[in-house]
Structures are given as C-alpha cells and as structure tokens.
Amino acid sequence: MPADKVDIDFYTLQLKRLAARYQSGENLKSITENVKGLIKSLEKKLGDDCDYQVACWGDLSRELTPLVRNTSDPKWVSVISYAVKQVNSKKNMALHRRKRRNS
C-alpha cells in the first residue's frame, strides 16, 4: 500500500459535483471528459499494487452505487452510472492483473 492513502471521499465528492454540473446544463461531453480525467488521476495515484487498487476501486464503487436511484434526476443518474461503469472496469482490470501475477 502506498505511503499516502487515497481519500475516496474526495473522489466521490468530485464525481457528485460533476453530476450536478450536468444537471445544471453543462455539456455531457465535457462532463464525461472530466470524469475520465478524474478517474485517470486516481489511477495514477493508486500506484502499482494490485491489491490496493482493487480495494480502492471497490470502495469507490460502493460509495457511488447507492447514488443511482430510480427517483434521481436522469442527468444525475447518467453521469454517476457512467462513473460506476468506469470504476468497475478499472477494478476488474486490477483483479485480472492480480490473478495473472499470482498464477
């Protein structure tokens, strides 16, 4: 695990802010690029430890998933759902790397 622990709450808050910006009328393309950038910055911060990556991606996914409700604004749901999909993809890639490393 890296010396500087990643603050998952910070990333959750930033993704919520991006969803709110889309709700407020900002362009979806701009928002999705910002989501990708935020996830990319987290990926770099996590380092090379597959176990730590899996744990952090899992934590972020667990934080975001309850934010997708059928009573939520569709714009909010689209951004958060997109973020969850990206996070789960990163988590699955880390799981695959860990499995290959342990084989």
> The whole model's pTM is what?
0.91
Q: Look at residue 92 in the predicted model and tell me its pLDDT.
A: 96
Q: How far apart are CA 10 and CA 14, in angstroms?
A: 6
Q: How far apart are CA 24 and CA 19, in angstroms?
A: 9
Q: Look at residue 24 in the predicted model and tell me its pLDDT.
A: 96
Residue pair 61/84 in contact (Cβ under 8 Å)? The answer is yes
List pLDDT tens digits, range 26-63: 999 999 999 999 999 999 999 999 999 999 999 999 99
What ranges do the domains of the chain cover? Answer: 8-102
